[in-house]
């Protein structure tokens, strides 16, 4: 015979905490508490298997269930010394849902079940309190009718209001036993009128009605939506807990409350909680009265006039505090508990791992490791890497006033204020010339906006999703960004944005919160992140565990310095083209691209050389001998081309040629598919002088810094978009030649490496050949994803949504590495590369380098390092440690 019911109470239980899959979180923990000898009202759990059975069998129960429920109920009756449905001494129960994962609001709990017209009299006599009995009865009718019978709440609220206004009173507590009796009569009439059948008087009908409602609630819309949002599988099902009632509403020596073993807002090891005297469970949540603090300390902190439990019920408080310590020591984590005190007797009704802020999570993990409650490794496993993001950026001062304008997508965390500008050029002018702080507002952004994006405090777009250009670039820069804020209308010509009847003009101040997606009018003060204390301690522990190195993608001195501050162990990707968008340089770059001859190009490149050399000097200085991987020019040339006639004229003048010549050349460079066009090392192959200039800048800078500081500088030069060994061979030969020249001129020798990006499927497949020439590989998984899927990151947003909704791809492959496809190519390339060149250094750059689940994959493939945007470095360090410990699922850990 199958077991369909698990009893608990009276100092023992059939379940255990590790049976959550079967008993749900609530049921498993009630059982565990009972086994620990903690006072828990007796009851039983109908497991999730019954839910599964129910849906697999046309809403029917297993045959043995009724009998097993009856037996379990008898056990509860014995412990409570009362009988279910008894006229003189009735046992009342609550019926509570409880899935594996907490699903708030899935189904409302039903309290006081077992009351009817007869047993309510028994309860009145035995408690000596008719008012309490009829109050409990009306609560029951109200909840049961709403949750099980589908009679809406407001009917009952109307009746209650009427009863109060008839008596000319405002508080429920002022109603007498007779008042409640009348209310009960009216409630029952209402049910009869609404349903055509009377409120069920048979207590077993009541019980099965409630059990059915819990199982039914598993498939209600609220629950389905919640599961979809939180990735909870439908097949898990819910359990049902039936538990003897204890009463916090039997008088002034009764109460009910919620508490945490530590403060969930800051993690302090203080007992924290609230309670309400003479109240029943749902009253605390409903917020009808102001709750009292548990501890004297808490009362003082809150400046509350109401006495604390510690002061008014010292014995109960001591008992609760002892249970707090017992449960925390047992579960080895901060607990969130529900309790009720019935006539000075304490009962525990629930315990679970408590939710906490990221700051509290850090403090609790570090403290618990220091207290010896958990190991350092466990402490590391307790922190969700993604949640660290909150701590690494300025946030809005919680005390500050705000004036919300609109809400968009939280595309890049951090909060920032500034004057509104509507173009990237204006952003640069305002910042550089007027020394203003700006928020760049665009319908959407494109690569030529990089310069303006870089100088802006924040970026706001009205179109585009979480992987739009603005979002990706902003995250890379650590710049706050709200994307896709569709409520806002931008008028570039008028230089205004309009939202909800309000107009914001260029130069007016707004504040954006890239962590929430909110946009505010005016300046909202922000607070700077603290990277010391528990954060620093945990990161130290993390670094002793992880084996993957963490580098950063950075090209500007500011980014490099940030990366160092966050613990980067080098630069994994320095995108040299980002150095060319500066207004001083873009003209020279255009001159170079638009030159008709090699001679013309060389002339322009000679002008760029000192700029580029200085970039590397700065970078090498900041990185103090740490490895720096520099990628030679990569993007499609059109990103640099002039757009307007004025820009063309400017280039023509600088180059000393006719504007028409420049215009013609400009037109001839047009490509219909630039992402697959003349870019990457194809530029180096066709115009070797570009890469030669860059190599010269790198070597001259390396020699200079090495000489000046006495530190070794080991540049790693990376060739992009290689698909054939021959490409790399040609580029490497050119670089080696420049190196020889520079070293000879300077009479100085340096080690350097030449390697390649692996970002084309062909390169991954031919990695064995390529590794004969490449001294390292860096997986450029952004492009590798684009080229493997054959879809553009910039254009895939709209249809990817549909793809995910239809379950074709589970995740956005640009945010989370596609382990099946792209990951397979990474694996193949790693194996073939290392077979050809043992010890070949392998890394990953691109968005995935900062994504915890992708980092776990990198660990499993045996990469040497991941490289991510500076602001994600701590996240990557933590994720790498979790990957090394083998307990990373990428997220979902608390
Ligand atoms: P939720 O999952 O929404 O928290 P619960 O099942 O925990 O729902 O119950 C809601 C409220 O009812 C809680 O405050 C709980 O303490 C109270 N409650 C549940 N069962 C009982 C009981 N047997 N006796 C007294 N109060 C109860
Ligand atoms: Mg609860
Ligand atoms: Mg690329």
- Give me the CATH number covering residue 680: 3.20.20.60
* pLDDT bracket for residue 887 (50, 70, 90): low
- On whether the CB atoms of residues 329 and 7 are closer than 8 A, the answer is no
Annotated binding site for substrate: 575, 631, 759, 780-783
pLDDT of residue 889: 45
CATH at residue 420: 3.50.30.10
Same domain (yes/no): 499, 612 = no
Task: Ligand 1, residue 96: give the atom nearest the CA.
Answer: 6
The closest alpha carbon to 619, from 704, 720, 690, belongs to: 704
The pLDDT value recorded for residue 891 is 36
Q: Spell out which residues have Cβ within 5 A of ligand 2, the ion.
A: 350
pTM value?
0.84
CA of 672 from ligand 3 middle (Å) equals 18
**How many Cα neighbours within 13 Å face the side chain of 804?**
14
Quote the pLDDT of residue 34: 98
Task: Let me know whether 231 and 272 are in one domain.
Answer: no
Query: Is the pLDDT at 296 greater than 70, yes or no?
Result: yes
Structure tokens at 631: 């990628």
Q: 239 and 210 in one domain?
A: yes
Name residues whose C-beta falls within 8 Å of residue 649's C-beta, 6 or more positions apart in sequence: 659
Cα separation, 506 vs 493, in Å, equals 11
Establish whether residue 250 lines the binding site of ligand 1, counting it when its CB lies within 6 angstroms of any ligand atom: no
**What local confidence, expressed as pLDDT, does residue 257 receive?**
93
Query: 576: Cβ below 6 Å to ligand 1?
Result: no
Token pair, residue 604, equals 């322009």
Binding residues for Mg(2+): 759, 783
- The residue from 753, 787, 803 where one domain ends is 753
Q: Is the CB of 274 under 6 A from ligand 1?
A: no
Let me know whether 206 and 275 are in one domain: no
Instruction: Assess contact for 46 and 72: CB atoms under 8 A.
Output: no
Q: Is residue 627 part of a domain?
A: yes
Q: How many residues does the chain have?
A: 894
pLDDT over 50 at 888, yes or no: no
Distance in Å, CA 182 to ligand 2 centroid: 31
d(CA 252, CA 385): 46
Q: Is residue 639 part of a domain?
A: yes
Q: In this predicted model, what pLDDT tens digit does every residue of 579-603 receive, in sequence order?
A: 888 778 888 999 998 888 999 999 9
Token couple for 441: 């507002």
461/471 Cα distance (integer angstroms): 9
Q: Span 37-64, mean pLDDT?
A: 96
In the predicted structure, residue 678 carries a pLDDT above the cut 50 = yes
115 and 238 both lie in a single domain: yes
| Distance of alpha carbon 824 from alpha carbon 116, whole angstroms | 65
Residues 83 and 222 in one domain: yes
Q: Calculate how far, in angstroms, residue 152's C-alpha sits from the geometric centre of ligand 3.
A: 58
Would you call 891 helix, strand, or coil by DSSP? coil
CA angle 596, 597, 602 (to 5 degrees): 120
Task: State the residue range of the domain holding 729.
Answer: 570-753
Same domain? 496 vs 583: no
- Is residue 105 over pLDDT 80? no
Helix (H, G, I), strand (E, B) or coil at 13: strand
CATH number at residue 276: 3.30.470.20
Q: Is residue 651 part of a domain?
A: yes
Residues pairing with 293 in the sheet: 274
Q: Which ligand is nearest to the CA of 634?
A: 3
Least confident piece of the model among 174-183, 275-284, 324-333, 784-793: 275-284
- 94 C-beta closer than 6 A to ligand 1: yes
Closest of 596, 604, 583, 587 to residue 649, by C-alpha = 587
Same domain, 323 and 414: no
Q: Does 693 map to a domain? A: yes
Evaluate: CB of 40 within 6 angstroms of ligand 1: no
Q: Tell which of 224, 244, 264 closes a domain.
A: 244
- Residue 550: strand, helix, or coil: strand
Residue 673 domain flag? yes
- Which token pair is 523? 């300046």
Confidence of residue 515 (pLDDT cuts 50, 70, 90): confident
Query: What pLDDT does 892 receive?
Result: 33
For the chain, the domain total comes to: 4
Q: For residue 431, how far is its CA from the centre of ligand 1 (angstroms)?
A: 57
Q: Which residue's CA is minimally distant from atom 20 of ligand 1?
A: 94
Does the structure show a pLDDT above 50 at 769? yes
- Determine, yes or no, domain membership for 767: no
- CA–centroid distance, 615 to ligand 3, in Å, is 21
Top pLDDT among 643 and 882 is at: 882
What's the whole-number average pLDDT of the chain?
A: 93
What would the pLDDT profile of 459-487 be if each residue is shown by its tens digit? 999 987 776 788 878 887 779 999 999 99
Look at residue 894 and tell me whether its pLDDT is greater than 50: no
**586, 893 in Cβ contact below 8 A?**
no
599 occurs within a structural domain: yes
Structure tokens at 714: 């080991």
Q: The sheet that has 438-442: what strands, in order across it?
A: 404-407, 518-521, 509-513, 415-421, 438-442, 458-461, 481-483, 409-412
Asked if 812 contacts 748 with a C-beta cutoff of 8 angstroms, the reply is no
CB of 727 shorter than 6 A to ligand 1 = no
The pLDDT tens digits of the residues spanning 813-854 come to 998 999 999 999 999 999 999 999 999 999 999 889 999 999
Quick one: 13 and 161 in the same domain? Answer: yes
Higher pLDDT, 738 or 226: 738
Whether 827 maps to a domain, the answer reads no
Long-range contacts: 118-124, Cβ < 8 Å, 24+?
Answer: 118/87, 118/201, 119/85, 119/86, 119/87, 119/90, 119/203, 120/184, 121/87, 122/86, 122/87, 122/88, 122/89, 122/90, 123/90, 123/92, 124/177
Q: Mutate which of 111, 207, 348 to test ligand 1's pocket (most atoms within 8 Å of Cβ)? A: 111
Q: Mind giving me the DSSP string for 723-760? A: -SHHHHHHHHHHHHHHHHHHHHHHT-----EEEEEE-S
Q: What pLDDT does residue 471 have?
A: 87
**Crossing angle (nearest 10°) for helices 557-565 and 598-623:** 30
Residue 845 appears among annotated catalytic residues: yes
Kindly report the CATH number assigned to the domain that includes residue 224. 3.30.1490.20
Domain end marker among 714, 734, 753: 753
Which has the closest alpha carbon to 571: 860, 875, 865, 842? Answer: 865
* Same domain assignment for residues 708 and 612: yes
pLDDT tens-digit profile of 418-456? Answer: 999 999 999 999 998 888 999 999 999 887 788 899 899
Alpha helices (runs of H) in 456-552, residue ranges in sequence order: 469-477, 533-545
Q: Which of 30, 34, 94, 243 to mutate to test the pocket of ligand 1 (most atoms within 8 A of CB)?
A: 94
Distance, in Å, from the CA atom of 145 to the CA atom of 160, rounded to the nearest integer, reads: 15
Q: What span, in angstroms and rounded, lies between the C-alpha atoms of 752 and 731?
A: 14
Whether residues 225 and 261 fall in one domain: no
What is the Cα–Cα distance from 634 to 720, expressed in whole angstroms? 6
Radius of gyration of the chain (CA): 34
Cα-to-centroid distance, 295 and ligand 1 (Å): 22
* Range with the largest mean pLDDT of 137-146, 229-238, 650-659: 137-146
* 97 and 128 inside one domain: yes
Q: pLDDT at position 126, please?
A: 94
Q: Which of 155, 393, 454, 469 is catalytic?
A: 469
Percent pLDDT > 90 in the chain is 77
Average pLDDT rounded to a whole number, residues 666-695: 93
SS3 566: coil
Residue 469 annotated among the catalytic residues of the structure? yes
């Amino acid at each position: 015979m199958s077991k369909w019911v698990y009893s608990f109470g009276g100092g023992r239980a059939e379940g255990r905490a590790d049976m959550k899959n079967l008993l749900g979180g609530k049921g498993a923990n009630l059982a565990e508490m009972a086994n620990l000898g903690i006072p828990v009202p007796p009851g039983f759990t109908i497991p999730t298997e019954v839910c599964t059975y129910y849906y697999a069998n046309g809403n029917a129960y297993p045959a043995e269930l009724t009998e097993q429920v009856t037996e379990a109920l008898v056990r509860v009756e014995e412990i409570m010394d009362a009988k279910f449905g008894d006229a003189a001494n009735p046992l009342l129960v609550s019926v509570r849902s409880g899935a594996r994962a907490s699903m708030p609001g899935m189904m409302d709990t039903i309290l006081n079940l077992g009351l009817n017209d007869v047993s309510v009299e028994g309860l009145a006599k035995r408690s000596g309190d008719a008012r309490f009995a009829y109050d409990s009865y009306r609560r029951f009718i109200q909840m049961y009718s709403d949750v099980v019978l589908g009679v809406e709440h407001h009917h009952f609220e109307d009746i209650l209001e009427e009863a109060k206004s008839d008596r000319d009173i405002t508080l429920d507590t002022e109603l007498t036993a007779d008042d409640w009796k009348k209310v009960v009569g009216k409630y029952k009439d209402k049910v009869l009128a609404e349903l055509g059948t009377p409120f069920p008087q048979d207590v077993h009908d009541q019980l099965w009605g409630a059990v059915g409602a819990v199982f039914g609630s598993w498939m209600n819309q609220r629950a389905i939506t919640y599961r979809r949002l939180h990735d909870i599988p439908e097949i898990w099902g819910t359990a049902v807990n039936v538990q003897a009632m204890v009463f916090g509403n039997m008088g002034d020596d009764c109460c009910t409350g919620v508490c945490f073993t530590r403060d969930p807002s800051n993690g302090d090891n203080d007992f924290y909680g609230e309670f309400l005297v003479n109240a029943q469970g749902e009253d605390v949540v409903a917020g009808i009265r102001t709750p009292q603090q548990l501890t004297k300390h808490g009362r003082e902190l809150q400046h509350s006039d109401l006495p604390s439990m510690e002061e008014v019920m010292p014995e109960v408080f001591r008992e609760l505090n002892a249970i707090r310590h017992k449960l925390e020591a047992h579960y080895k984590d901060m607990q969130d508990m529900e309790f009720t005190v019935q006539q000075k007797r304490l009962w525990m009704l629930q315990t679970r791992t408590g939710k906490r802020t990221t700051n509290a999570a850090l403090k609790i993990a570090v403290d618990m490791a220091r207290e010896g409650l958990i190991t350092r490794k466990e402490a590391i496993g307790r922190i969700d890497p993604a949640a660290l993001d909150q701590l690494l950026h300025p946030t809005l001062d919680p005390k500050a006033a705000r004036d919300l304008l609109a809400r968009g997508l939280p595309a890049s965390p951090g909060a920032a204020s500034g004057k509104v500008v509507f173009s990237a050029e204006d952003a640069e002018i305002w910042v550089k010339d007027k020394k203003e702080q700006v928020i760049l507002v665009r319908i959407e952004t494109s690569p030529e906006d990089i310069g303006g994006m870089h100088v802006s405090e924040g970026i706001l777009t009205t179109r585009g999703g979480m992987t739009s250009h603005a979002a990706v670039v902003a995250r890379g820069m650590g710049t706050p960004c709200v994307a896709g804020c569709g409520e806002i209308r931008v008028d570039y010509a008028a230089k205004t944005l309009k939202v909800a009847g309000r107009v914001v003009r260029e130069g007016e101040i707004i504040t954006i919160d890239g962590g929430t997606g909110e946009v505010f009018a005016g300046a909202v003060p922000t607070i700077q992140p603290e990277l010391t204390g528990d954060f620093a301690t945990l990161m130290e522990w993390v670094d002793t565990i992880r084996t993957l190195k963490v580098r950063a993608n950075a090209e500007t001195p500011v980014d490099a310095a940030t990366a160092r501050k966050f613990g980067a162990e080098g630069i994994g990707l320095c995108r040299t083209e980002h150095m060319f968008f500066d207004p001083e340089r873009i003209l020279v770059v255009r001159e170079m691209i638009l030159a008709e001859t090699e001679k013309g190009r060389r002339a322009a490149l000679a002008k760029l050389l000192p700029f580029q050399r200085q970039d590397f000097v700065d970078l090498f200085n900041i990185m103090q001998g740490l490895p720096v991987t520099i990628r030679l020019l990569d993007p499609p040339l059109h990103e640099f081309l002039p757009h307007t006639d004025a820009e063309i004229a400017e280039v023509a003048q600088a180059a000393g040629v006719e504007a028409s010549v420049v215009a013609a050349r400009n037109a001839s460079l047009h490509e219909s598919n630039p992402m697959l066009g003349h870019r990457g090392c194809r530029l180096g192959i066709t115009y070797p002088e570009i890469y030669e200039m860059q190599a010269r800048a790198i070597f001259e800078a390396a020699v200079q810094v090495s000489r000046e500081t006495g530190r070794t500088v080991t540049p790693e030069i990376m060739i992009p978009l290689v698909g054939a060994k021959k490409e790399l061979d040609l580029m490497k030969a050119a670089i080696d030649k420049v190196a020889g020249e520079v070293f000879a001129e300077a009479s100085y020798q340096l080690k350097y490496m030449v390697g390649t990006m692996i970002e084309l499927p062909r390169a991954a497949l031919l990695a064995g050949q390529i590794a004969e020439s490449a001294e390292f590989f860096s997986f450029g998984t952004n492009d590798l994803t684009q080229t493997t899927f054959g879809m553009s990151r910039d254009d895939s947003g709209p249809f990817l949504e549909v793809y995910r909704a239809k379950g074709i791809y589970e995740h956005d492959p640009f945010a989370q590495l596609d382990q099946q496809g792209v990951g397979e190519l990474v694996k193949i390339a790693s194996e073939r590369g290392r077979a050809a060149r043992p010890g070949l250094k392998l890394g990953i750059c691109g968005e995935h380098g900062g994504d915890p689940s992708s980092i776990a994959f990198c660990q499993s493939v045996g990469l040497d390092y991941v490289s991510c945007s500076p602001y994600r470095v701590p996240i990557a360090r933590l994720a790498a440690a979790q990957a090394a410990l083998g307990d990373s699922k990428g997220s979902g850990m608390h």
